[in-house]
Amino acid sequence: MQRKGSLEQFENTALPYLNAAYNLARWLTQNPHDAEDVVQESYLRALRSFDSFRAGCDARAWLLTIVRNTCFTWLRQNRPACVAAEFDENIHDAPENWCNPETVLLEKADSKLLNDEIAALPYEYREVLILREFEGLSYKQVAQVVGVPLGTVMSRLARARRNLQRRLCGAQTEAQA
């Protein structure tokens, strides 16, 4: 059983990142109800292992790592085909003449379109994009959360952005036709 002081420390350390944990889980599971379950399980895991947390460490990265790992476990148990992403150079490389995704977003201002296109990204790309762009983690923090080298984070993020750019430009072209 946790001591009262330890429980207070856990709450002070982990609760400020509840929204970030839910946001990451929602994007990874692609379901708000599943995300709630994953976050609840993640916080239980974090509480159980809080004694091993070192003060001064990045609490947000520590907690989001637990959320990510819990998501992986949940996805393997409930959706085995969703975890692996196939890489096809022809699909993931962007031609030079693509439009700027920021321009598309400003012109369309359609958050549903953006959410749908982000949700359609391969898992590895979606998670680094969410952690970097929505949660504001540094490349180093993203690498820590995802458990891959910094260069891998950078290449996944670049591919995610190119893929998103291609999808958004394709949606804009379809809307204009």
Q: Do residues 103 and 172 both lie within one domain? A: yes
Which of 26, 60, 82 corresponds to the end of one domain?
A: 82
Q: How far is the C-alpha of 76 from the C-alpha of 57, rounded, in Å?
A: 29
DSSP alpha helix (H) spans, 30-146: 32-48, 59-78, 89-92, 101-108, 111-119, 123-129, 139-146
Q: pLDDT tens digits for the chain (177 residues)?
A: 455 558 888 899 899 999 999 999 999 998 999 999 999 999 999 999 888 887 778 889 999 999 999 998 998 888 765 444 555 555 545 555 456 666 554 555 567 777 888 888 998 999 999 999 989 999 999 999 999 999 999 999 999 999 988 888 876 666 665
Q: Are residues 72 and 95 in the same domain?
A: no
Range of the domain at 111: 89-176
Shared-domain flag, residues 34 and 96: no
102 and 158 in a single domain? The answer is yes
- 77 shares its domain with 95: no
Rounded Cα distance between 120 and 112, Å, is 12
Joined tokens for residue 32: 């708000």
CATH number for position 150: 1.10.10.10
Sign of CA dihedral 98, 89, 150, 20: positive
- pTM flag (> 0.85): no
d(CA 126, CA 156): 9
Structure tokens at 158: 């670049």
Q: What is the DSSP letter of 132?
A: I
Q: Are residues 76 and 106 in the same domain?
A: no
State the total domains in the chain.
2
94 and 64 within one domain: no
Q: Are residues 49 and 99 in the same domain?
A: no
Q: Give 160's contacts (C-beta < 8 A, 6+ positions apart).
A: 121, 125, 126, 128, 129
Q: Are residues 110 and 131 in the same domain?
A: yes
